[in-house]
Structure 1
Amino acid sequence: MTTRAHERYEESGGRPEGYATHDVTNQPPPPAPYDASDDTALLEGLRREGAGWAEEDLRRLGRRAGSAEAQEWGDLANRHEPVLRTHDRYGNRVDEVEYHPSWHHLMRVAIGEGLAAAPWADGRPGAHVARSAGGLVWGHTEAGHGCPTSMTYAAVPVLRRQPELAKVYEPLLTSREYDPGLRTPTQKRGLLAGMGMTEKQGGSDVRTNTTTATPTAEAGVYTLRGHKWFTSAPMCDVFLVLAQAPGGLSCFLVPRVLPDGSRNTFRIQRLKDKLGNRSNASSEPEFDGTVAWLVGPEGQGVKTIIEMVNCTRLDCVMSSATLMRKTLVEAGHHVRHRSAFGARLVDQPLMRNVLADLALESEAATTLTLRLAGAADRAVRGDAGEAAFRRIATAVGKYWVTKRGPAFTAEALECLGGNGYVEESGMPRHYREAPLLSIWEGSGNVNALDVLRALGREPATAHALFDELALARGADARLDAAVTRLEGALAEGSEAGARRLVELMALTLQGSLLVRHAPPAVADAFCATRLGGDWGHAFGTLPDGADLTGILDRALPGEG
């Protein structure tokens, strides 16, 4: 080293030459570890909807979800995507998908914490609420592995339509043990369930399905022939599948491995190259002589499987709310530790407005999710009014909350500036994930039309919705006026205006819940903007009178 080079080295504090300018300043520390359950709206909703007994476990799970280890699992499971193996080394057809070990770590925790079908075996009131709350917390790790847990949860009420099948499979589906690999179902400690509904020619219009189901000599047993277009998590043990039987479109149970230990025909043609949800394999299976068991009567496949759709739609709402909360936490962490133009970002008025607006949206989504979970829990226990409310409100929530997700995650990403556009931040992964939830289990049009269908065929659903809204009557004039507008819109409703109608239903429902359960700072700002019209077209346009400090202190506790 020359004399001058040595002098420069000493001046740089002992750093090698070329690194003298690389001091890292004004960058936030890593966000992990953090407590993903440190969410006031979540904990209040948990107690309100009858699952306060689960709070200690939820807090424990929240700390684990926000740990550096669990956050790394989520990252690795998405960086190392599933790999399809159609054949083994000898040329035998195996149709298996290999996952990174991080996927299995995530799954093991999710199943062990009861986030799949465990609530169906839990007699405590609030068990289904506790599961949704757990999803709102554990989903901070990553979203892809929520697909098989959701489908497993949703499969149980469908299987109960065929008691002899439920007797065999339900104890294994409700197990808290994760037992991966394709083996004889009854020889495993726990099972996962998937579903195969859509086909390339019809998508959501499943009545156009061409997969055929041919009866065999054994009662209730059929063979299937056809091709499914989107079948996610193909390493699940059993699948609920729609196919055309002699009596019309019907629902069937298809195991990957037959009771005698042989492989059922389930040829995976390829894995989908998806925009997001990269950790989760989505496949195109081909059935050819595939053995299947009838679930429910022939010709009533849609009616049979609709309960599964109701459950998975709730999970779409939950997952969108989780993604909102996760990206809000990331954005809040960044702006609390980043300075620009002479002040911390979090102290700058416009940034505070953006964050507070995001916080309103996040709390409204979380509160609605837990209300829907509470309705599902009480409906399972025989409450007809809650069943009617669940029917309409889940479709409404699925439409609106999942629609808000992409815009929300984009705004949260922008809070990080260029740092948020870099893969290392994790925000691009969340942004790619957001649109899926408005597509899965029926896109926006499908859900909006389903709301119209429910209103037309099941009048009790409208009564249940307005009974819920009436609980907040008189508390806020803007909410009351919006409910009056909704009554008029229902009377004049048309298919072309279905989206506008369902949006108003969602906003009045969220407004009603916040007026009743949230502090005045939150309820007033929500009603002023979402219902009163004092709002721009982007996040960060709350009116001057909004209590930004009150909103942010509630939404982002734990840091100065």
Structure 2
Amino acid sequence: MNGLPPFETHRVENQPPAFEPRDLWADDIALREAVDREGGAAFAARLAAYGALAGDELYRIGFDANRDRPRLRTHDRFGHRIDAVEFHPAYHRLMEAAKTHGVAGLSWHDPQPGAHVARAALSHLHHQADAGTSCPLTMTHAAVPVLRREPALAAWADAAAAPLYDPRDLPLADKAGITLGMGMTEKQGGSDVRANTTTATPHGEGYRLVGHKWFFSAPMCDGFLVLAQAPGGLTCLLMPRRLPDGERNGFALMRLKDKLGDWSNASSEVEFRNALAWRVGEEGRGVATIIEMVMLTRLDCMLGSAAEMRMALAQALHHARHRRTFGKALVDHPLMANVLADLAIESEAATAFALRVARAVDRAPRDAGEAAFARIATAIGKYWICKRTPAFVNEAQECLGGAGYVEESILPRLYRQAPLNSIWEGSGNIQCLDVLRALAREPDTRAALATELESVAGREPAFDSFVARLMMDLPHAAEAGARNLTERLAVALQASVLLRAGSPAASAFIGGRLVDQGHGWAFGSQPGIAAADTLLARALPA
């Protein structure tokens, strides 16, 4: 128009191709081996189907679900109180895909041996596409066995386990599939739920709740497990969103939490105003009732953190293979290869340990030793894997440089998400104190740890030496040293799983985590990781 020819200022080059579509199952050798090793091989076809879906459609729409955050609508346009949470359609598609493929219920609606392992792998795959929806999915999954103990609540358990997603705000009788949330903590108590002041007053066949919850997770769900003070003490109750006659229950959502991450999911504050609820378990046994749920939700914290590590590693390695610096691919620089190999080792150890715990959960009803191992290993793994994730994701961001710090990359979302699992379901100190409590009060947990660690004795002298010192220290565990002890237990258990698997990551993991060789604490500071090329090829097929 101005008489000048069109021109370009530069050519776009030396940029990696789009990460997606990728098959998250086919790409993840460590996950596939772990599922096979821990007893979930019968579900391989189901996992393959979900891995392809998660790495393509679900990965793409995860950006939409997080960009357009949930909105609270307390009233409709006529002034009626509705307490509704509105979501981007991508959220509902993510939930539909997860529910129908078994992320929230495979363990219960197809309870053959290995179902918990396969369900854990499904959760691991889903979490890589979107972490926020994992919150209602894991709570729905964890609530089923508790509700099944109450004959009057069997319909709730069956609908929660069903591979169906129905987001409509209707009473249970009108829905074949439901989701469940939780409300445990209050303003004055936090992790100390015995300080709760919400009251549950007997009323007919149920109770009436008066009080509040400071964190009311996934307020769009059809029902919620809450803790309240009944006449017999702290009690677990199921509170429906809709009453059996279709009317709204007596609670009000005060506001949604403005969170660091977890943006696709809504978390809220709530007040109970004579809300109807039904007892789950005995009065005064609320904490004991919740414990079984907590073991399952803590396992999902491990799986979620391992999944965040996995996606961060895959992003970093994908970038490093395609980006050229100083005349060669970024991955071919020895220092970068060392960093990536160290991340690959950590990621595989996290995934392998989480799937080992899933096997223990799967076998716990039939094997007392596995039940004891699941009891203590969930607390150990929840502490350590979740604690390692923020530093891990940050290191992966650094591999991309500034590109890893902008929202068009998934890494900022992963970085915001990374601290959550170390806080949710009990912070680090809570986990470590739980480990001490189990060791002191439940001798079978100590025996289960010894059995697990001794099963690979004689394969690596450094491992044997580390475990010998560790077992000598167990009887002298004190509260002030609980973190140190839990960390040592965690890395020993991770090493044992890698050794049993015959993983090429085992020796490097032991050398970098169990042996003091004078290296630093940052990822990549272990000098000259042997077979780095092999580890990177294993981590993500080119």
TM-score for both structures, normalised by structure 2: 0.98
Q: 2:98 maps to which residue?
A: 110
Say whether 1:410 aligns with 2:399.
Answer: no
TM superposition shift of 1:70:
2.1
Structure 1 residues 87-486: aligned runs within 5 Å? 87-165=75-153, 167-216=154-203, 218-219=204-205, 221-380=206-365, 382-486=366-470
Displacement after TM superposition at 1:502 (Å):
0.1
Between the aligned residues of both structures, percent identity stands at 57
CA shift for structure 1 position 118:
3.2
User: Highest CA radius of gyration, 1 or 2?
Assistant: 1
The answer as to 2:511 corresponding to 1:524 is: no
Q: Which deviations, in whole Å up to 9, do the C-alpha atoms of 1:43-93 show, x marking residues without a partner?
A: 1111111110111221121111111x3222100000000000001111111
Matched, 1:63 2:52: yes
Asked if 2 retains the 8 angstrom alpha-carbon contact of 1:250 and 1:299, the reply is yes
- What does residue range 467-506 of structure 1 map to in structure 2 within 5 Å? 467-506=451-490
Measured after TM superposition, the shift of residue 545 of structure 1 is 5.4
Q: 2: CA distance between counterparts of 1:126 and 1:400?
A: 25
- SS of the aligned residue for 1:423 comes to coil
- Aligned-partner Cα distance in 2 for 1:440–1:123: 27
- Structure 2: distance between partners of 1:222 and 1:107: 31
Of the structure 1 ranges 526-535 and 505-514, higher mean CA displacement relative to structure 2 is found in 526-535
Equivalent in the alignment of 2:29: 40
Is residue 72 of structure 1 aligned with residue 60 of structure 2?
Answer: yes
Aligned-partner Cα distance in 1 for 2:186–2:269 = 9
Where does structure 2 lack aligned partners over 5 or more consecutive residues?
none
- Partner residue in 2 for 1:12: none
Q: Given residue 200 of structure 1, which amino acid in structure 2 is its aligned partner?
A: K
Cα offsets for 1:132-162 (capped at 9, x unmatched): 1111112221100000010000001111232
Contact 2:143–2:157 (CA<8 Å) still a contact in 1? Answer: no
2:202 is matched by which residue type in structure 1? P
State the 1:503 CA deviation.
0.1
* AA at the equivalent of 1:313: R
Deviation at 1:493, TM superposition (A): 0.9
Q: What is the CA-CA distance between 1:318 and the residue it aligns to?
A: 0.2
- The normalised TM-score by structure 1 is 0.95
Partner secondary structure for residue 84 of structure 1: strand
Unaligned runs of 5+ in 1: 10-15
CA contact (8 A) 1:525 1:547 kept: no
Give deviations 1:414-467, integer Å, cap 9, x for gaps.
Answer: 100011111111211110000001000001001111111111111101100110
Query: How far off its partner does 1:2 sit?
Result: 6.8
Q: Distance in 1 between matches of 2:187 and 2:45?
A: 46
Matched AA of 2:495: G
Query: Post-superposition, which runs of at least 4 consecutive aligned residues in structure 1 deviate over 4 A?
Result: none
Measure, in 2, the Cα distance between the counterparts of 1:518 and 1:548: 16
* Contact 1:181/1:235 (<8 A) preserved: no
Offset at residue 552 of structure 1 (A)? 1.1
Secondary structure in structure 2 of the residue aligned to 1:359: helix
Post-superposition offset of 1:537: 1.2
| Contact 2:360-2:370 at 8 Å conserved across structures | yes
Question: 2:491 corresponds to which letter in structure 1?
Answer: L
The code of the aligned residue for 1:228 comes to: K
Residue-pair matches, total = 540
Question: Would the aligned equivalents of 2:338 and 2:528 in 1 still touch at CA under 8 Å?
Answer: no
**1:63 and 1:533 mapped to 2: Cα distance?**
41
Conserved? CA contact 2:219–2:266, under 8 Å: yes
Aligned residue identity for 1:378: R
Q: Which of 507, 526, 536 is the aligned partner of 2:491?
A: 507
- The whole-number CA distance in structure 2 between the counterparts of 1:118 and 1:526 is 33
- Distance in 1, matches of 2:36 and 2:528, equals 33
State the AA in 2 paired with 1:470.
E
Native 8 Å contact 2:345 2:535 kept in 1 = yes
Report SS of the residue matched to 1:552. helix
- The structural deviation recorded for 1:22 is 2.9
Shift of 1:287: 0.3
| Residues 207 and 279 in structure 2, CA contact (< 8 A), matched pair in contact too | yes
SS at match of 1:150: helix
| Greater Cα shift, 116-125 or 172-181 | 116-125
